[in-house]
Structure formats: structure tokens, C-alpha cells
Amino acid sequence: MGMGLWIYTALCGSAIAGFTAADGTPQRRCEFYASSRNMEEAVLSGSVNGTVQYCGKTQCCIGIFQMVDGHFKPDHLGCSRLGTPCPNVTCSESTYFKNYTTCLCGSDFCNTNMTWSPGTPQLQQSGPQAVSRAAVSTILLSLLICILMILISLAVGHGLRTHFCLHDEEAASSNDDLKPRCSCSRTPMMDIDLANMKLHKFVASGRFGLVWQGSYQGEEVALKLFPVKNDQEFTRERDIYSLPLMVHAGITRFFGAGRALSGEPVLALKLATHGSLNSYLSKAVISWKEAMRLSKSLVEGLAYLHSDHFSNGMHKPPVAHRDLSSNNVLVQADGSCALCDFGCATILCPCASRREWQHTANTPQESVPVGTLCYMSPELLDRSVDLNGGRCLLQGDVYALGLLLWETWMCCSDLFRGRQDLKHRLPYEAELGPKPTLEQLLVFVFEKRGRPAMPSAWARVSQIKSFSLQEILEDCWDHDPEARLTARCTADRIASLTTDLSL
């Protein structure tokens, strides 16, 4: 079991290593799992990226396990909130109380697996008094099988993405018997009391609501207020944020939803210091290092949104954003991107309970494409695809992703030999003006297959074994949807670029 965990950590190292605390010491990395009832408290212990938590207050991982049918199952995994020394390197325990046991350990991902060593008398009279060797073996075997499944999917997925990266690996997973039970049911809604909500200043207006900077329970937040007439869009966006496992550094953190005293529905979200990506790029010329931070976090966020993700018996189905634009991406205090504004998004549930989500995909408005015109893919502009097919919606997101990468890199002074007079432009603004019409875009994008112009030097911007910037963009916005990269593959290509730039 220890060897399996070591291999898993080594394979994932390139994606999760390199995080350090403020004092320069490496941050402890712990397996993360939290149910809806303790999610809000759990994320206070450190930043979360998928199923990994980076500890902000301690070097200890914690694991809380519940005895169910003679087996210990995770109830909460993550970073400890206490600054006490870690008693053990590994997660091990020999006692439990009221069917729960807790371990505290001091090595990366040590809380992924608990070693049970029954010895001292238990603290309760009812229930199991000891765990047999067979039960321990069953737990270890189950965890080993799960890790082997992850290793196989990583190895196969990496090989395919390295050579072709053309097909959506999330849609290709037809071996349902190898997965945990599919569950597309909602988690309980994170309703919060907004009676004491305070609005400080107006920030922006979006397609469906107004965004204010405010405070909730003493914390500065972004409060998105929806007019009552847009209650359907509020419900949809709340449902997206409330999906199981919908916690990722590249997706705006969700605190909860409620209603203001005036009756307007409200979403409480993490406040993004720099506003939208559009606003950020309009105010400053960026360096290559800053451009890479924006780009990597953007593509990782979309890749996670598109993923069909299982963890600890929970399931996050793929989600298509459908309105990806520089106004719907936020720039956080650390210069990274986070996706927001899911009012047009669609949940693509691949399992039997798909009917439960029909309201997010089959409303009357869905008979026509939605989104921001200049970011819409050729097939969506022409309405030549069946919008009931989930794959085309993911491919449309990747097309828009290519335009966002182009938009970001066009503001990078290092890509223009140090020029500081660069001006932020929207896609197709140079070719068609600031507000192109549907007819103009149909002719230029669909019929003529035109794309935003790129400097010729971008064909040479790459490192050893990497793709050039031009190749990445062209493979994202390919006219043929089936030939486009997936978001996951785009993230892998961006990750292969380094901060060493040579023109």
C-alpha cells in the first residue's frame, strides 16, 4: 500500500508541487474531502485544488473516519486547523469513539490511508469492539484498487494527450463498471442568512445581475444580486456552484446563496481584487511570467469544470460554461484566474439520473445558442449543431478558451520585444470593430474561416518538446470541432511552457 501511495504522489508531483508558505517552508499537502455540512469550515484550513489541500496553518494532515458496516470510511480529510506538532508520520489509530476515529500525521497525503491497529479497549460498549485483520485487509485492498484505477487513467490519458489530444477523455469513459457509483444528485444548498449583509460599493453589471463589494459575517465578499425576473438564472448558477466537489483554485469560491431583505436572490462569492480579466488587461501591460500565471490557472479551471470527477464516493459531472469571455473570468489577488458567471452553464450528467438536470439543458431559451457573440464558435454562430449533444458545448468552450489565451498574450510586452504601448483588444476587434454583428462574424469566422491575427514570431515561441503558441491557439480554435483540443490537453500543453522566453 505504501508503494502505491508513493507512485501516485510521484505521478502527481508535477501538478501539485512547488507551493510554499509565507515563510518559505514547503506547504503540507493533504488529501481533501469534506461533505457539504463541513465544507465551509474545512476550506479555512488551507487552499484547495481539486482533491488536494495546501495547509495554511500547520504541517499536519487530519483524517476523520467513520465505522460503517465494519469498515472505516472517510468523513473528513484535509489539513488540521491546530498548530500542534504532528504525533506520527503516517495515519494510524487503534481506538474509536461512537463509531468515529481520528488520526493526525505529518507527511504529504498521509491521511489518504489509515492503518488500523486494534489494541486498547474501545471507548464505547455498543457496536464493533475490534476490527479484524480481514476488515483491515479489505480496506487496504479497496484503497489499492482505487489508486490503481487512478494510475491507469492517468497513464492512458497522459499518453493519448501527449500524442493526439483530440478527443475528450471524459466523454470516452464507457467502462462504468470500473467507476464508483454515478451520482448526479445535488448536495444540500448552501443557503445563508443575508439579513446582516452590507453593500459597500458597486463593482460591475453582468448579463443577469449586479455585483457589489460587500461584507458578510465580517468578511469582504462579492455579492451578486439578481433581479427577481432572473430567478431562473440565479437558480442555475447556484446549482452549478453547489455541485459535489465543485472546489478548485480556478473556479470562484462560493460561500452560499440567500435572499436580500428586498427579496432579490443573492450569491455570495470570493472577492476578486483585480476584477475581470477584461478590466485587468485594459489597465496594464503584463510580463511573460504574469501571462503564464493567468493562462495556466485559466486552463486548469476550465479543465476541472469539464472533468467527470469521482472522489470519496462523490461525483462532479462535466459542466459546459457556454459564456466564456474575458468578462466572465476573474483575476484574484495572486494574479491567477478563476471562472465565474455560470448563468448560461449546462450540467452534462452522463448517468441514469440525467432527467434530474433537464431544467439546466432543456429550457425554452436553449433552442438557440447562448453566449457572447465574438467568443462563439463557428458551429454555434451558424447553429449547425445539435445543442442537446453535450460534446459540442465543451468544444465551444475550448474555442472560446483559445480566444482568451490570444487576448491575454496580446497584452504581454515580452512577446513584443519589450513594447510598453500595447493596447488590449477583444477578439476580432481589429478585423471587425469593437462590436461585430452576427452577420459579420458568420462571414468572417464561419465562411472565410478567419481568426485573430498573430505575430509571426509566435510560431517560434516554444521550448524543447513543447508546442508553439501559434500551434496551441490554432488547435483550440480549429474550424472542425472534433479536431480541437480538450481543455485538459490544452492545460497540459500550457504547463509544458516555461517562464524562459526566447523569440
pLDDT averaged over 10-residue windows placed end to end, the chain, 503 residues: 31 38 71 74 78 85 86 86 79 80 89 78 40 46 53 47 42 40 50 74 79 83 89 90 92 90 86 94 94 97 94 89 96 96 87 42 49 94 82 95 98 90 95 94 96 88 68 96 96 85 62
Instruction: Give me the pLDDT at residue 45, please.
Output: 81
The partner residues of 276 in beta bridges, in order of sequence, read: 330
Residue 441 contacts residue 452 (beta carbons within 8 Å): no
| pLDDT of the residue at 176 | 39
For residue 351, being part of any structural domain is answered with yes
Instruction: Give the ranges where 164-244 is alpha helix by DSSP (H).
Output: 231-241
Return all residues near 35 (Cβ < 8 A) that are at least 6 apart. Answer: 75, 76, 187
Choice among 323, 341, 397, 475 that is catalytic: 323
Cell of 112: 489518504
What is the model's pLDDT at position 148? 56
Q: Which pTM does this prediction carry?
A: 0.66
Domain around 133: 2-144
Are 400 and 378 a contacting pair, CB within 8 Å?
Answer: no
Q: Is position 75 within any domain?
A: yes
Name the helix (H) or strand (E) containing 326.
Answer: none
Question: Is residue 176 annotated as part of the catalytic site, yes or no?
Answer: no
* The residue to which cell 510554499 is assigned: 20
What dihedral do alpha carbons 424, 425, 430, 433 form, nearest 10°?
Answer: -130
Where residue 236 falls (left for φ over 0; alpha for ψ -120 to 50; beta otherwise) is alpha
Which CATH number belongs to the domain containing residue 108 in this structure? 2.10.60.10
Sign of CA dihedral 165, 169, 172, 175: positive
Q: Which residue among 113, 144, 175 closes a domain?
A: 144
How many Å apart are CA 86 and CA 276, to the nearest integer?
41
Which ranges constitute the DSSP H helices of 265-318?
Answer: 277-283, 288-306
Q: Which H or E run includes 476?
A: helix 469-476
User: Looking at the domain assignment, is residue 198 inside a domain?
Assistant: no
* pLDDT on residue 295: 97
Length of the chain: 503
Strands 329-331 and 337-339: antiparallel
Task: Point out which residues pair with 220 in neighbouring strands.
Answer: 215
**DSSP helix/strand/coil, 436:** coil
Phi, psi of 309 (to 5 degrees): -115, 125
**What is the pLDDT, as a whole number, of residue 144?**
55
Determine how many CB atoms are found less than 10 A away from the CB of residue 441.
22
User: What is the spatial order of strands in the sheet that 46-49 belongs to?
Assistant: 29-31, 52-55, 46-49
Q: Count CB atoms within 10 A of the CB of residue 358.
A: 11
Q: 251 pairs with which residues across the strands?
A: 339
Q: Is residue 467 assigned to a domain?
A: yes
Is residue 276 one of the residues assigned to a domain?
no
> What CATH number is attached to the domain comprising 489?
1.10.510.10
Three-state DSSP class for residue 208: coil
Number of domains present in the structure of the chain: 2
User: Could you tell me the sign of the dihedral formed by the alpha carbons of 310, 311, 313, 316, in that order?
Assistant: negative
| Per-residue confidence (pLDDT) for residue 25, from 0 to 100 | 65
Structural domain includes residue 382: yes
Is the residue at 390 inside a domain? yes
DSSP 278: H
Q: Final residue of a domain: which of 103, 124, 144?
A: 144
- C-alpha grid cell for residue 145? 484498487
State the Cα–Cα distance between residues 254 and 178, nearest whole angstrom: 31
CA–CA gap between residue 297 and residue 457 (Å, rounded): 24
In a domain, 415, yes or no: yes
DSSP result, 346-383: EE---SGGGGGGHHHH-SGGGGS--S-GGG--HHHHHT
Helix, coil or strand: residue 84 = coil
Burial of 18 (C-beta count, 10 Å sphere; 0-12/13-18/19+): exposed
- Between β-strands 92-93 and 115-116, what pairing exists: parallel, antiparallel or unpaired? parallel
Last residue of a domain, one of 105, 121, 144: 144
Distance from chain centroid for Cα 74: 22
Alpha helices in 307-450 (DSSP H): 358-361, 378-382, 390-409, 429-432, 438-441
